[in-house]
Amino acid sequence: MEKVELLAPAGDLERLKIAFEYGADAVYLGGESFGMRSAAKNFSIEDIKEGADFAHERGKKVFVTVNIIPHNEDFIGFKDYLINLEKAGVDALIASDPGVIEVIKETIPKMEIHLSTQANTTNYHSANFWYKQGVKRVVVAREMSFDEISEIRKMTPNSMDIEAFVHGAMCISYSGRCLISNYMTGRDANRGSCAQSCRWKYSLVEEKRPGEYFPVYEDEGGTFFFNSKDLCMIEYIPELIRSGITSLKIEGRMKTSYYVATVVRAYRMAIDEYYKNPDSWKFNPMWLDELKKGSHRHFTTGFYNEKPNHEEQNYESASYVRNYDFVGIVVKPADENGLVTVEQRNKMVVGDEIEIIGPYTETIVTKIEEMFNEDGDAIMEAPHPRQIVKMKLPVNIGMNFMLRKQIEEIGE
């Protein structure tokens, strides 16, 4: 049985490596131009080459986005950029615009092309059209049900891949084609600069009473009526695979390394459990608990099971739910004294109860008994950003294992 691909976001090299180490089969990333997340750190050509080399050494793949909706001036220098991407060793390019696809085919004809969700593919006629244009993979629109995806699979060549988003932020606009950000802020969401204007708080104006603004009360704080919950399909791994999806895609190139590790780890466990015995797969609530330990909005299953209703929106707040702090990442395994070197990411104090997560391992619960600075002096806390500390942790803690602690805070 050919296994489904787990595709993770990578906002920079650290997140790329974390994604692979925690179980992703491939990552998608943006270069310094032509991508839909211009606010992300994004990758230089040198970074892309390093990332592709890291991936290929592990039998993994790297896909690069060139999926903006371009204007004439956006094509300046585009061919040179494509040639550099090919030389860097990327495995595929993700595009949505027919002109972009045509230039890719003319400039680097051997490059694999994936059709972005921005192309709004919702039927098998469109999928077959794009396949005939040389597209190897179609990323279907988020507005698709299991039944609709299954029919696309049935009516398209087996050699055409189907990719679908299974986790992360949902857009209020159809498959991400949005004008509200451009109208409100001058930042073009279709060229990589979305201001997430849909998640702001709005009031209602009745046409016969112009200038009178009425809050739409959900509670005393008002309401956020364009603010979708986050997609989460971890309870439906069998249905996703049986529908014929080739690649399960996680949203989040703007998210942290901890977010990438947490989400990839949970989906990796769920997918691997399915392939052990597909007929007896059972959802493990622990996987969902893990996802909730990362920064998230409340969850929805989107369009997969039925058309969404008012329950799919979060009217109360545009903030994320955050119940755990990511406090450190292991940068060196235990030395001869049994001390593990950790780079601080949030304040840690001796006596803190922490959880440790790592690739393909169970969660470890322990307590920080003692800490030392780089000079070997005992310290009681690590308050400084990216401070290097040493501590004793349980055995078999490796590179890029992550430390977190529970908090009661809700916010972004």
The pLDDT tens digits for 25-56 are 999 999 887 755 555 557 999 999 999 999 99
Residue 192 has pLDDT above 80, yes or no: no
pTM of the model: 0.85
What pLDDT is attached to residue 41? 59
What pLDDT is attached to residue 7? 98
Those residues whose C-beta lies under 8 Å from the C-beta of residue 388, and which sit 6 or more positions away, are 331, 341, 342, 343, 344, 373, 374
Type of residue found at 3: K
Could you please state the CATH topology (level 3) that the domain comprising 5-173+228-308 is classified under. TIM Barrel (3.20.20)
Beta strands in 96-186 (DSSP E): 112-115, 137-139, 161-168
Give domain 324-406's CATH superfamily. Translation factors (2.40.30.10)
Task: Check: CB of residue 325 under 8 Å from CB of residue 346.
Answer: yes
Give the count of beta carbons closer than 10 Å to the beta carbon of residue 223: 20
Q: Which residue has the higher pLDDT, 93 or 198?
A: 93
The pLDDT tens digits for 78-110 are 999 999 999 999 999 999 999 999 999 999 999
Domain ranges of the chain: 5-173+228-308, 324-406
Q: Which residue has the higher pLDDT, 155 or 300?
A: 155
Q: Nearest Cα to 36, choosing from 120, 117, 137? A: 117
Those residues whose C-beta lies under 8 Å from the C-beta of residue 173, and which sit 6 or more positions away, are 179, 180, 189, 198
